[in-house]
């Protein structure tokens, strides 16, 4: 099999083409095929890798190339759970989950599947199944449409090591946000949640989050800017999220999440919502307790 890649950096290659003639010839002979995944060649002919999740991504790419009915991913867990069982012992295994929910959970650091493999499966309509390599039991199917359970929630996930920046006193005029975030973009700082306050007295405030590992770089970049009066950073944050495609048509989900945090005296620093996700930025020390409390509120 020949791989051709478009390369940004090492461990971040992209699959461009799969030559399947050799594999198909062996399959036609009813041979069992073993294919080396995760690795490839960049545009300069150097051997490089796909990076984290490269094995799953390789498997999905092969399944797409051969129009397979199902791509099974064998791993050290027996499926996708409503939360990390190491944090929530009573987490429930899902018999099936949508691509959209799995992609959000993967993006929120649910470490069963890498989001690149799920993106590829969704794009090429490859149904997946996460199964155990140690137990002969059914796993979790990942597909486009599923039968929603009563909760309408796919799961609860957390991401540690977040930093929250607060920019105070930006001029309340068009183009200011562009100047700030284009500066961060040019230095490859990946911004997650962004909140902007209502302008008063000709000024406004903006808060955003990024990974803690990029906090020092972000601060150096922001200090080059003269578009605000003050900047502060909190590097003790975590993000807790609930994910579920059914949330958009069912009221009260956000209220239950906030109730669970309130009952456990957990303060919310920022809130972000979409059609299938609600995320809260909280103190990192409260992250595990928050996941357990939210899971108990929504699933028990």
pLDDT value of position 173: 87
- pLDDT (average), residues 99-111: 81
Per-residue pLDDT, 41:
66
What percent of the chain has pLDDT above 70? 86
pLDDT in tens, 223-280: 877 677 888 999 999 999 999 876 766 678 889 999 999 999 999 999 998 888 899 9
Q: What is the pTM of this model?
A: 0.80
Task: Report how far residue 133's alpha carbon sits from residue 120's, in angstroms, rounded to the nearest whole number.
Answer: 23
pLDDT of residue 4: 46
Structure tokens at 7: 């390369």
Residues 257 and 298: beta-carbon distance below 8 Å: yes
- What pLDDT score does 163 carry? 94
Burial state string for 157-186 with b = 16 or more CB within 10 A and e = fewer than 16? bbbeebbbbbbeebebeeebbeebeebbee
How far apart are the C-alpha atoms of 213 and 208, rounded to whole Å? 15
Question: CA 3, CA 70: separation in Å to the nearest integer?
Answer: 22
Report the alpha-carbon distance of residue 130 to residue 79 in Å, rounded. 5
Secondary structure class of 203 (helix, strand, coil): strand
Average pLDDT over residues 165-194: 90
Q: What share of the chain is helix, strand, coil (3-state, %, to 5)?
A: 30, 30, 40
pLDDT at 3: 47
- pLDDT by residue (tens digit) across 155-167? 999 998 899 999 9
């Amino acid at each position: 099999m020949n791989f051709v890649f478009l390369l940004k950096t090492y461990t971040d290659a992209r699959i461009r083409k799969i030559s399947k003639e050799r594999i198909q010839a062996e399959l036609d002979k009813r041979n069992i095929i073993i294919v080396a995944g995760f690795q490839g060649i960049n545009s300069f002919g150097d051997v490089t890798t796909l990076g984290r999740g490269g094995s799953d991504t390789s498997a999905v790419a092969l399944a797409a190339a051969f129009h397979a009915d199902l791509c099974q991913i064998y791993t050290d867990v027996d499926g996708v759970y409503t939360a990390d069982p190491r944090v929530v012992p009573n987490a429930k295994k899902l018999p099936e989950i949508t691509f959209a929910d799995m992609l959000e959970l993967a993006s929120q650091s649910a470490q069963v599947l890498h989001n690149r493999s799920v993106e590829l499966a969704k794009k090429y309509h490859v149904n997946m199944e996460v199964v155990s390599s140690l137990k002969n039991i059914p796993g979790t199917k990942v597909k486009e449409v599923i039968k929603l359970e009563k909760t309408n929630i796919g799961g609860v996930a957390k991401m540690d090591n977040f930093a929250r920046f607060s920019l105070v006193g930006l001029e309340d005029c068009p183009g200011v946000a562009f100047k700030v975030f284009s500066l961060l973009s040019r230095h490859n700082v990946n911004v997650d949640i962004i909140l902007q306050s209502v302008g008063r007295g000709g000024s406004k405030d903006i808060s955003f989050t990024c990974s803690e590992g990029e906090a020092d770089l972000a601060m150096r970049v922001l200090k080059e800017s003269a578009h605000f009066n003050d900047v502060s950073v909190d590097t003790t944050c975590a993000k807790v999220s609930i994910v579920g495609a059914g949330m958009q048509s069912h009221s009260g989900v956000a209220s239950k999440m906030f109730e669970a945090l309130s009952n456990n005296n957990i303060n919310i620093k920022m809130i972000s919502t979409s059609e299938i996700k609600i995320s809260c930025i909280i103190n990192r020390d409260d992250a595990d307790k928050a996941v357990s409390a939210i899971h108990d509120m929504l699933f028990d």
